[in-house]
Each structure stands twice: as structure tokens, then as C-alpha cells.
Amino acid sequence: MSKYRAWLLLVATNLFWAGNYVFGKYVIIEITPLWITFSRWVLALLFLFPIAYFLEKPKWHVIKKAWLPLISMGVLGSIGYNMVLYSALEYTSSTNAALVSALNPAVIVMFSVFLLRERITWLQTSGIVLSLIGTMVVITQGNLGQILQHEYNKGDILMLAAVVIWTLYSIIGRRLTTVPPITATAVSALFASLILAPFAIAQGIDVTKIGPLALSGILYIAIFPSICSFVFWNMSVRAVGISQAGIFLNLIPVFTAMISWILGEIITGTQALGGMLVFMGVYLTTGMLNHKFAGLFSKHC
């Protein structure tokens, strides 16, 4: 896959995920995080396995050997990230959740340093710090003194946990090169559904209380964020690497804010300031500025 095609897929991926934040905010009113997560993957599996079979012709003996990372991807990406995300949306706005999630590229770089032994520059380190400050501005609503008061929006804190979970999922997906991306998504989602099934059955659900808006939201979440985004993400991570793919995660809060604004949500100055700091930090963290300096230096030599 060419890098340009991967970039296009990453734009679509993050547009669909932005819709997940917005639709999730409405669906969570009528359906619990457990049932949203369970139902989205059960529906998605109806499409994922046929797509994987016809496009990738998976070798099941290879998949069998990769059972541990596939289960880990299911627990982290399919269950953990989504359960925490939908729980967060019960307490915070979709825009706030998306702004906190913009910290993801910086966290990916941090984890790559510690887990994959990658090296970072002082500019990237500065970017990580700036991203953290921006996230704190969003979480504390501009009052950084609250950091010492231990009074935070529960939803924003849950989103920080979701960022860490997604980072771990992405690192495992990057290192799993023996299983094709669509197959990996399908199998990990199957493991996730099997794990969630007894808990979902025990909790139960009253389908008579599910309105048309929530039903439409579940269908959207199952088709676009679940099938398209996860498949596109895993394909793109393998094509351009986790750090470059992580840059595109910054599109989530942009798309989310745009969709939320269209639907009538007010974007505050604090959210705008915090988002700008996060984006500036991510710009430094990704090392793009280093490449520009290197390019300018090479031109003058």
C-alpha cells in the first residue's frame, strides 16, 4: 500500500471515529457501555469475517499461533478502549473527550521509547510536556490550580485511561505482522465478543426502551468506527508505522468539534486553548519540526 493511500484511509478512519464520539453521547443515554460495546462487535463480525475471507484468505494455522496477541488486542482495543470511552461520555462532552484523546500521539511516542526503545529529541520531549499541559487545561477547565485539589471531571480522567489502552493496542497491532489486518481485527473482535457475552447476558437489556436514534447510533458505530476504522487503522499502521499513523489521531477532535458544533454544541475558549496546546505539543512530539530543520540545513550545505 502506498503512503498516500494509507493517509487517505487514516483521514476516513478518524472521521468515522469522530462520529463515534458524537453518536456515543446519544446512545449512552439508552444503552449501557457494556451493551454498546458487545452489540457493536457482534454486528461488526457479520461483515468482518466474510471480508477477511475473500480479501485476505487467512491461514488459520498462523492465526492459531498468534492467539495471545489477538486476545490481547480484543481485550484492549475491542473491549477496554470502547468500554472506557463510552463510560467517559456519560460524564463529559464529546468535544472534551476528543480533545483529551488528542494526547494519544504523544503517549504513543512515550510508550515507544520505553517499550520499543525508540529515541526521541529534546523537541519531542518538549512536545510531550506541552501536550500534557494542554490536556490539563481541558480537564481543569482552565484552572490549573485544580491539579492539586484532586477535583476532576470523571469523564476526562476516564479518557486519559482510554488513551493509554489504545496506545497498548496499537503497539501490539504494529508488532503482529503474521496475521493480515482485517483478519486480525475480525479474530480479536470475536475473542472480545466471547469474553463479553456472559457479562452482557447477566446484565440484560430492555429492547423496548431503545429508541430510533439509539438504534441508528448502534448501526453507525458497528459499521463505520468498528469495521471501517479498525480495519483501516491496522492496515495503515503496518504501511506507514505507528508514529506517523498516530499523527492523524489529531483529526478526531477537529472532526468531533465540527460535527458537535453543527449539532448545536458550544465550543468554549478553554477547550480551544487546550486543544491548541495539545496540537502544538503533538506537532513537536512527532518530530516533524526536526525534519524541517534537517531539510533547511541540507539545502544550505
pLDDT digits (tens, 9 = 90+) for 5-48: 888 888 899 889 888 888 888 888 889 999 999 999 999 999 99
Task: Over range 167-183, report the average pLDDT.
Answer: 84
Q: Range with the lowest mean pLDDT among 70-74, 103-107, 166-170, 230-234?
A: 103-107
Is 283 a domain residue?
no
In-domain check, residue 296 = no
* Closest alpha carbon to 162 in 112, 90, 87, 226: 87
Domain annotation covers residue 287 = no
Mean pLDDT value of segment 86-94? 86
Nearest to 125 by CA among 293, 300, 259, 285: 285
Q: How confident is the model at residue 136 (pLDDT cuts 50, 70, 90)?
A: low
Residues 156-170 have a mean pLDDT of 88
Q: What average pLDDT does the chain have? A: 80
pLDDT of residue 128: 67
Mean pLDDT value across residues 142-151: 58
Residue 281 lies in a domain: no
- What mean pLDDT is predicted for residues 206-215? 85
Name which of 69-73, 94-98, 212-216, 271-275 the model is least confident about: 271-275
- Whether 73 shows a pLDDT value over 90: the answer reads yes
Residue 246 covered by a domain: yes
Q: Do the domain assignments include residue 169?
A: yes
Question: Residues with Cβ < 8 Å from 194, sequence gap 6 or more?
Answer: none
Domain extent for 76:
3-105+153-259
Give the residue with greater pLDDT, 119 vs 165: 165
pTM > 0.85: yes or no: no
Q: Is residue 173 part of a domain?
A: yes
Is-contact 182 51, C-beta < 8 A? yes
| Cβ 92 vs Cβ 153: under 8 Å | yes
- What is the pLDDT averaged over residues 211-229? 88
Instruction: Give whole-number Cα distances, 225 to 48, 82, 96, 260, in Å.
Output: 13, 11, 19, 17
On the question of pLDDT at 296 being above 50, the answer is no
Number of domains forming the structure of the chain: 1
**Do the domain assignments include residue 244?**
yes
pLDDT at 112 over 80: no
Q: d(Cα 215, Cα 132) in Å, to the nearest integer? A: 36
- Beta carbons of 184 and 67 less than 8 angstroms apart: no
| CA separation for the pair 183, 238 (Å, rounded) | 14
